[in-house]
Structure 1
């Protein structure tokens, strides 16, 4: 009889086979193995297919989808296919430390009322044109001191540091029309059902290449110019601030980039 896995891990990828291989190897190295991996590619080359053939297991899935490139639709496709009780996202350029799933599962078991969880993460700086295994700098980002309400002003939790109960995701999807902030917009949609709860000791790892910034998606013109401000405003209008204090904080943030809007707008 088929038994659903505890975790479904959705990995989006775009023609970056070496990075994808590193992400998948970090999953194969987990000390907790009750999970499925769903790799969704918005483009396909031979190297990506080879990596998936070598590193995915029988219970995993590899999907080549059609349509517009970008992680939003890939994540939506992955959520539609997910069979696990809990859902996580791991993009092809990030990884998990070997104990990450085990620590997360232990916290879930101790707190069965939780529906969305997040934890600390590491930022690893690297030079992807030279050696993916050479770490230039490593920084631990501890999130326990951040008031969770500040999510209504600006995102501070990376996608791979979150875990969602599948019931919290019902009716939620990633907006493919946003050029930036789509992770945050999606998280705010989930927050309408359940606010994320913090737990200490997670093992999510965010990899950044500051040496060759043009190699990652966040440096695309649409993600670095005034489109970011437009996407902030769009997200603010879609998900209104729940308190006057958060309204004022939103207003102050937008004022810092030169826009003056009445506080009632937020």
Structure 2
């Protein structure tokens, strides 16, 4: 049954934003959701050791129908996302990192695709926006680049993740079957996506609306190659595959990271 996008009691989409001590960027992320052309949207912000600045940003930006929760201690984004899922009321759930944003028509454009595949996980395209150190948009060629996932084969998620977590929508009915693993040092979003892959079909929607803000020369993943390799092997072992081609691709990737391991162990 199509979602009643005007119903105040059941939002169509819940946007879950984990955050930690980035008040200005959080305010931008929240604003990009409150300015959506789709009305039936709620925001769930889960702050990890929320500062006074984070609290003010949330108080100034969130609406009465939204949720803000600040937890003591450094528990990490995995637990924040898990808690956000439990609090979310929307028919479909999605995530937005606190330093990213959405175009105003993104959720309205995505909703028809969600309604057309109500039991599927839907993933969209995205845009990379380069910024200067002070957070202003960079100028020149390459400062804005759209990334299409239309030709990506879903089966290769078993080798390496290619879907940013903020490009993913999944039905609320799956939320009690999946969780982010706080024990992973990285790639917990990939592990989460693989959990969804085992439970529902994936559908690509030709919609672009998530903006990934990047500072020149900055990288979100500062782990060593060995640390990344360890997490890759851990994820491989908890998500075994029978397909020999996928096993070989896993073996080749781990080998490029500097370790030789037989495909049968992956």
**Equivalent residue, structure 1, for 2:26:** 20
- Aligned counterpart for 1:218 among listed residues 218, 221, 233: 221
**Equivalent residue, structure 1, for 2:122:** 117
- After superposition, the C-alpha distances for 1:48-86 in whole angstroms (9 at most, x for unaligned) are 111111110001010012343321000011011111110
Gaps of 5+ in 1: none
Q: Is 2:121–2:200's contact at 8 Å kept on the other side of the alignment? A: yes
Gaps of 5+ in 2: 1-6
The aligned runs of 1:1-266 (5 Å cut-off) are 3-109=9-115, 111-127=116-132, 129-134=133-138, 137-211=143-217, 213=218, 217-219=220-222, 223-266=223-266
Question: 1 CA distance for matches of 2:255 and 2:238?
Answer: 19
Question: 1 CA distance for matches of 2:242 and 2:210?
Answer: 29
Q: Is 2:49–2:74's contact at 8 Å kept on the other side of the alignment? A: no
Q: Is 1:114–1:197's contact at 8 Å kept on the other side of the alignment? A: no
Deviation at 1:180, TM superposition (A): 0.7
- After superposition, the C-alpha distances for 1:178-212 in whole angstroms (9 at most, x for unaligned) are 1111100111011110132101023111111134x
Shift of the 192–38 alpha-carbon distance from structure 1 to 2, 3 Å rule, reads same
Q: Is 1:100–1:204's contact at 8 Å kept on the other side of the alignment? A: yes
Question: 2 CA distance for matches of 1:113 and 1:54?
Answer: 34
- After superposition, the C-alpha distances for 1:75-131 in whole angstroms (9 at most, x for unaligned) are 01101111111000001001111111001112122x14442000110011112x323
TM-score (norm 2): 0.92
Aligned-CA RMSD value: 1.7
Structure 1 residue runs of 4 or more that deviate by more than 4 Å after TM superposition: 133-136
3-state SS in 2 of match to 1:131 = coil
Q: Is 1:124–1:139's contact at 8 Å kept on the other side of the alignment? A: yes
Question: 2 CA distance for matches of 1:188 and 1:232?
Answer: 12
- After superposition, the C-alpha distances for 1:25-69 in whole angstroms (9 at most, x for unaligned) are 111111102011010001222221111111100010100123433
